[in-house]
């Protein structure tokens, strides 16, 4: 049996023609004691048919609120949303039939087996994938008869994704699909998501892991404080930094190195000075590293650590906001 063949055919042609998701000037406010909180604050987005699109941002950036509005689970305070050319409130059943959704945290009934949960979810859709096929697809065949309560975190997450796939969706929404999972489970999920993407259908996911966005997504929107602050393919976003490499170093405490002196070094495009740690974005590390070492020597600075690596989306985020993506202490208000 070819579980995904049926869905892939009809969709790719139509899917690539029109955007899968389009939203304009989206806002969502929640009341709170200190006045309204703007979880989403004028967000524009266009997700193309057939692409894997990532919303990347720190906790509290408004990713989940945004994706739940797109999924029709939350009503926006204002703004316009179109999904698969349809609108929530008018074509709900049609949309529900065509979307696959995995929420940030869902606990399925502990005392039902994997197969029973998937059979239940399959029954809601007019057409879809056989439960046994989707179980195989997510690698849970050995656990098909096991109760949900006995599954590991990674297996539960694969079950959640399987529930999203069992309706053979044209558009798959995944909210933080790998948060809190061990590296092996994350890689397994990435494989499942990539396999779905290869069938030509559309994926929209949120994540605060930049490696996840870099590996999975064709395009990424960096979201901060309810707005899109950067948009493009991971490569484009990285290129926008001006250099492809990062040099990170730290010196003995008390060493005075003014950013201006660092910016003046050859091939340095950007300087981010943190607590003790300094990161330089450079286009040519083989030029910048000797120059940096020369500067340190001239100042009599004692070097503790020096590394070079490729620029990541994390650096893009830092560059744009001055904050770390996963810095739990610096949540936007």
Partner 1 sequence: MKTYYPLRELTLARLREFLREPEAVFWTYGFPLMMAVGLGIAFRDRPAEIAHVDVQLEARAPDVVARLSARHDFVVAVHEEAVWRERLRMGKADLVVVPGDTLTYVFDPSRPESALARARVDDVLQRAAGRQDSVRTADARVTEPGSRYIDFLIPGLLGMNLMGGSMWGVGFAIVDMRVKKLLKRLAATPMTRADFLSSLAGSRLLFMLPELLVIMGTGILLFGMPVRGNWLAILALALLGALSFAGLGMLAACRAERIETVSGLMNVIMVPMWLLSGTFFSSERFPDLLQPFIQALPLTLLNQALRAVILEGAPLASQSWRVLALAGWGLVPFGLSLKWFRWN
Applying CB under 8 A, the residues found at the interface with partner 1 are 71-74, 93, 96-97, 99, 101, 103, 105-109, 111-112, 116, 119-127, 130, 147, 163, 167
Q: Smallest distance, Å, CB 231 to partner 1?
A: 26
Q: How far apart, in whole angstroms, are the C-alpha atoms of residue 287 and residue 304?
A: 20
Structure tokens at 70: 């797109």
* H runs (alpha helix) in the chain: 5-17, 63-70, 92-98, 114-123, 131-137, 153-165, 183-198, 210-216, 234-239, 259-263, 285-299, 313-321
Q: Please say which residue, 39 or 311, places its beta carbon nearer to partner 1.
A: 39
Q: How far apart, in whole angstroms, are the C-alpha atoms of residue 324 and residue 159?
A: 31
Q: Please say which residue, 106 or 141, places its beta carbon nearer to partner 1.
A: 106
Q: Please say which residue, 3 or 285, places its beta carbon nearer to partner 1.
A: 3
Measured at the alpha carbon of residue 189, what is the angle toward residues 185 and 192, in degrees to the nearest 5? Answer: 145
List, in order, residues 6 or more apart from 65 with CB less than 8 Å away: 28, 39, 40, 74, 226
Q: Please say which residue, 97 or 308, places its beta carbon nearer to partner 1.
A: 97
Are 125 and 97 within 8 A, CB to CB?
yes
Q: Please say which residue, 157 or 267, places its beta carbon nearer to partner 1.
A: 157
Q: Please say which residue, 96 or 324, places its beta carbon nearer to partner 1.
A: 96
Helix, strand, or coil (residue 322): coil
Q: Smallest distance, Å, CB 112 to partner 1?
A: 6
Q: Please say which residue, 159 or 311, places its beta carbon nearer to partner 1.
A: 159
Q: Smallest distance, Å, CB 128 to partner 1?
A: 8
Q: Smallest distance, Å, CB 214 to partner 1?
A: 28
Closest Cα partner for 176 from 165, 188, 167, 189? 189
Measured at the alpha carbon of residue 127, what is the angle toward residues 122 and 133, in degrees to the nearest 5? Answer: 55
Q: Please say which residue, 80 or 105, places its beta carbon nearer to partner 1.
A: 105
Q: Smallest distance, Å, CB 117 to partner 1?
A: 8
Q: Smallest distance, Å, CB 298 to partner 1?
A: 59
The DSSP output letter for 143 is: G
Q: How far apart, in whole angstroms, are the C-alpha atoms of residue 104 and residue 59?
A: 12
Q: Smallest distance, Å, CB 96 to partner 1?
A: 4
The DSSP output letter for 20 is: E
> What separation, in Å, do the N-terminal and C-terminal C-alpha atoms of the chain show?
50
Q: Smallest distance, Å, CB 46 to partner 1?
A: 22
Q: Taking the CA atoms of 228, 232, 238 and 243 in sequence, report the sign of the dihedral they define.
A: negative
């Amino acid at each position: 049996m070819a579980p995904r063949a049926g869905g892939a055919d009809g969709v790719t042609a139509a899917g690539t023609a029109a955007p899968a998701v389009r939203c304009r000037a989206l806002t969502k406010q929640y009341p709170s004691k200190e006045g309204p909180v703007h979880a989403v604050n004028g967000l524009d987005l266009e997700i193309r048919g057939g692409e894997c699109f990532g919303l990347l941002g720190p906790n509290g950036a408004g990713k989940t609120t945004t994706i739940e509005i797109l999924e029709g689970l939350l009503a926006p305070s204002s703004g316009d949303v179109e999904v698969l050319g349809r609108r929530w409130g008018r074509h709900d059943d049609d949309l529900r039939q065509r979307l696959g959704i995995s929420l940030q945290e869902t606990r399925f009934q502990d005392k039902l087996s994997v197969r029973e949960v998937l059979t239940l979810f399959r029954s809601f859709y007019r057409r879809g994938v056989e439960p046994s096929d989707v179980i195989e697809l997510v690698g849970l065949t050995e656990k098909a008869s096991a109760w949900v309560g006995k599954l590991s975190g990674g297996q539960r997450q694969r079950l959640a994704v399987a529930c999203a796939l069992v309706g053979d969706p044209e558009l798959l929404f995944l909210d933080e699909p790998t948060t809190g999972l061990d590296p092996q489970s994350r890689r397994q999920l990435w494989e499942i998501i990539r396999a779905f993407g290869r069938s030509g259908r559309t994926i929209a996911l949120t994540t605060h892991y930049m490696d996840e966005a870099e590996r999975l997504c064709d395009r990424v929107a960096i979201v901060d404080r309810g707005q899109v602050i950067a948009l493009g393919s991971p490569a484009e976003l990285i290129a926008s930094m001006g250099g492809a490499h990062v040099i990170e170093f730290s010196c003995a405490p008390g060493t005075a190195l003014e950013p201006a002196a660092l910016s003046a070094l050859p091939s340095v495009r950007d300087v981010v000075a943190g607590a003790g740690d300094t990161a330089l974005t450079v286009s040519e590390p083989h030029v910048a590293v000797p120059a940096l070492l020369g500067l340190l020597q001239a100042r009599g600075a004692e070097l503790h650590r020096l590394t070079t690596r490729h620029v990541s989306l994390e650096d893009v985020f830092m560059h744009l906001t001055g904050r770390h993506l996963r810095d739990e202490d610096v949540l936007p208000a």
